[in-house]
Structure 1
Amino acid sequence: MSKRPHIRFIINPTSGPRNKQDVAAQIQAHLDHGKFSHEVVYTERAGHAPELAGEAARCGCAMVVAVGGDGTVNEVARGLLHTETALAILPRGSGNGLARHLQVPMAVDGALRVLNQGHITTIDSGSINGHLFVTTAGIGFDAYISSVFAGSTKRGLQSYVELVMKEVRNYRHLPVKASINGAVIDTHCFVMAFANAAQYGNNAYIAPEADIQDGLLDVCLVRKLDIIKALNLSYSMLTNQLAHADSAEYFKTTHVQVETEEPMMFHADGEYMGKASAFDVQIQPLSLKIVTPQINLV
Structure 2
Amino acid sequence: MTVPPRSFTAVVNPTAGGSASARTLMPLARLLREAGAELAVEYSRGLEHATALAREAAAAGRAVLGVGGDGMVGCVGGALAGTDAVFGVVPAGRGNDFARQLGLPTDPAGIAEVLLHGEPRAVDVIEANGVPVLGSVYAGVDAVANDNANHSRLRGRASYTAGALRAVLTWKPADYVVTVDGERYRRRGFTVVAANSGYYGFGRHIVPHARVDDGLLDVLIVKHGPKRLFFQVMRELSDGSHLNRPQVEVLRGREVRIELAAPGRVLPYGADGELPGVLPVTAKVLPGALRILLPRSG
Q: Same fold (TM over 0.5)?
A: yes
The answer to whether 1:40 aligns with 2:41 is: yes
Q: Aligned partners of 1:215 and 1:19: how far apart in 2?
A: 33
Which consecutive residues of structure 1, in runs of 5 or more, have no partner in the other structure? none
| CA-CA distance at 1:21 after TM superposition | 5.2
Q: Which amino acid aligns with 1:198?
A: G
Deviation at 1:48, TM superposition (A): 1.3
**Whole-Å separation in 2 of the counterparts to 1:91 and 1:71:** 11
More off after superposition, 235-244 vs 72-81: 235-244
Aligned length: 293
Relative to structure 1, the CA distance from residue 198 to residue 53 in structure 2 (aligned partners, 3 Å threshold; closer, same or farther) is: same
Query: CA 1:238 to 1:47, structure 2 compared with 1: closer, same or farther past 3 Å?
Result: farther
Counterparts of 2:119 and 2:6, CA distance in 1: 13
Asked whether the 8 Å contact 1:189–1:224 carries over to 2, the reply is: yes
Deviation at 1:23, TM superposition (A): 4.1
| 1:32 Cα deviation after fit | 5.5
**Deviation at 1:155?**
2.4
Taking structure 1 as reference, are residues 39 and 167 closer, same or farther at Cα in structure 2, changes over 3 Å only? same
Instruction: State percent identity of aligned pairs.
Output: 26
Q: Tell me how far apart the structure 1 counterparts of residues 297 and 102 of structure 2 sit (CA, whole Å).
A: 8
Residue 217 of structure 1: how far off its partner (Å) = 0.1
SS in 1 for 2:267: strand
Q: TM (normalized to structure 2)?
A: 0.91
Separation (CA, whole Å) in 2 of partners of 1:240 and 1:269: 21
8 Å Cα contact 2:16-2:93 kept in structure 1? yes
Residues 130 and 106 of structure 1: CA distance in aligned 2, closer, same or farther (over 3 Å):
same
Paired with 1:157 and 1:143, the residues of 2 have a C-alpha distance of 15
Match of 1:12 in 2: 13
CA deviation string 1:88-144 (max 9, x = no partner): 111111110111111111223321222121321110010221122111111111211
* Counterpart amino acid of residue 274 in structure 1: G
Once the two structures are TM-superposed, the CA of residue 158 in structure 1 deviates from its matched residue by 3.5
Moved more, 115-124 or 29-38: 29-38
User: Greater CA deviation, 216-225 or 232-241?
Assistant: 232-241
The TM-score with structure 1 as length reference comes to 0.91
Partner of 1:87: 87
Closer/same/farther in 2, CA of residues 5 and 139 from structure 1, 3 Å limit: same
What's the CA shift for 1:52? 0.5
**Within 2, Cα distance between the matches of 1:128 and 1:39?**
31
Equivalent position of 2:58 in the other structure: 57
Partner of 1:264 in structure 2? 267
Structure 1 contact 125–132 (Cα < 8 Å) conserved? yes
> Which letter maps to 2:214?
D
Evaluate the alpha carbon distance shift between residue 118 and residue 154 of structure 1 in structure 2; reply closer, same or farther with a 3 A threshold: same
Which has the higher mean CA deviation after the structures are superposed, 234-243 or 83-92?
234-243
The question of whether the paired residues in 2 share the 8 Å contact of 1:255 and 1:282 is answered with: yes
8 A Cα contact 1:254 1:282, kept in partner: yes
Q: Deviations over 1:12-61 (max 9, x none)?
A: 11012436654443123211544522211111233211110000111111
| 8 A Cα contact 1:7 1:37, kept in partner | yes
Give, in whole Å, the separation in 2 of the partners of 1:29 and 1:253: 43
Distance 2:7 2:186 in 1: 51
State the distance in 2 between where 1:19 and 1:70 align: 13
CA distance in 1: counterparts of 2:86 and 2:55, whole angstroms: 11
8 Å contact kept, 2:21–2:92: no
**2:149 aligned with 1:146, yes or no?**
no
1:1-298 mapped onto 2 (5 Å cutoff): 4-18=5-19, 22-31=23-32, 33-61=34-62, 63-260=63-260, 261-262=262-263, 263-276=266-279, 278-296=280-298
* 1:69 Cα offset (Å): 0.3
Mapped partners of 1:11, 1:111: distance in 2: 15
The amino acid of 2:217's aligned partner reads: L
CA contact (8 A) 1:13 1:20 kept: yes
Distance of 1:217 and 1:21 partners within structure 2 = 34
User: Are the equivalent residues in 1 in contact too, given 2:66–2:73 (CA < 8 A)?
Assistant: yes
Task: Answer yes or no: is the 8 Å Cα contact 1:136–1:193 preserved in 2.
Answer: yes
The answer as to whether partners of 2:196 and 2:216 remain within 8 angstroms in 1 is yes
The answer on whether the counterparts of 1:236 and 1:245 sit within 8 Å (CA) in structure 2 is no
Q: CA RMSD in A?
A: 2.1
Equivalent AA in structure 1 for residue 12 of structure 2? I
Query: After superposition, what is the alpha-carbon deviation per residue over 1:175-222, rounded to whole angstroms, capped at 9, x for unaligned?
Result: 121222443211213100000011105320111000110000000011
